[in-house]
Structure 1
Amino acid sequence: MEPTVDRPAPQVTVTDIRTLLDSSAELPVLYINYGPGDGGTEAELDVWAAGLVYQADIVLTRATALDQLGEEPNSETIAAFLPKVQKAVDQMISVRGM
């Protein structure tokens, strides 16, 4: 099921990417948090340590973001990167069937 108006995929923002890049977590990742329990229907983006996140929910690792964006990306560079990350989020939501 594709994201719909009723259940849109979470929108990736510059703030999400900045939070990932600035995180002090060990091996931080941007992931989709589906809410409480296995049947969660409210999806949102969050940053946490990779070892504490279900692998299939990981959208982007800090290492990959740094490879794509460089060590100190400006807001314009991050904004240009957002559509690529958003596409991954949309696909992950579709596979999950939300």
Structure 2
Amino acid sequence: MEPTVDRPAPQVTVTDIRTLLDSSAELPVLYINYGPGDGDTEAELDVWAAGLVYQPDIVLTRATALDQLGEEPNSETIAAFLPKVQKAVDQMISVRGL
């Protein structure tokens, strides 16, 4: 099922990418947190250590973000990168069937 108006995919923001880049977690990743699984909780984006996240829920690793954006990206560079990450989130939500 595709994301819909009443059940949209989480929107990736510059803040999400900054949180990933600035995280002190070991091997941090941006991932989709689907909540407790009761069906009423909307998915959201979060940052956590890769070893503690279910692999199919990972949207972006810090290593990949740094490869794509450089060591110290500005807000404009990150903003230009957001559509690519959003596309991945939308596809992951569709596959999950939310």
TM-score scaled to structure 1, two decimals? Answer: 0.96
Is 1:27–1:62's contact at 8 Å kept on the other side of the alignment? yes
Q: Superposition RMSD on alpha carbons, in Å? A: 1.2
Q: After superposition, where does 1:42-53 map in structure 2 within 5 Å?
A: 42-53=42-53
Aligned pairs, number: 98
Question: What is the CA distance between 1:41 and its match in structure 2?
Answer: 4.2
Question: What is the CA distance between 1:38 and its match in structure 2?
Answer: 7.0
Give the ranges of 4+ consecutive aligned residues of structure 1 lying more than 6 Å apart after TM superposition: none
Query: Identity, % of aligned pairs?
Result: 97
Is 1:34–1:40's contact at 8 Å kept on the other side of the alignment? no
Work out the CA distance in 1 between the residues paired with 2:11 and 2:60. 14
From the superposition, tell whether residues 96 and 40 of structure 1 become closer, same or farther in structure 2 (CA, over 3 Å). farther
Gaps of 5+ in 1: none
Question: What is the CA distance between 1:42 and its match in structure 2?
Answer: 1.2
Question: What is the CA distance between 1:37 and its match in structure 2?
Answer: 3.5
Q: Bigger CA drift: 62-71 or 33-42?
A: 33-42
Work out the CA distance in 1 between the residues paired with 2:40 and 2:62. 26
TM-score scaled to structure 2, two decimals? Answer: 0.96
Question: What is the CA distance between 1:24 and its match in structure 2?
Answer: 0.0
Is 1:59–1:85's contact at 8 Å kept on the other side of the alignment? yes
From the superposition, tell whether residues 34 and 66 of structure 1 become closer, same or farther in structure 2 (CA, over 3 Å). same
Is 1:3–1:9's contact at 8 Å kept on the other side of the alignment? yes
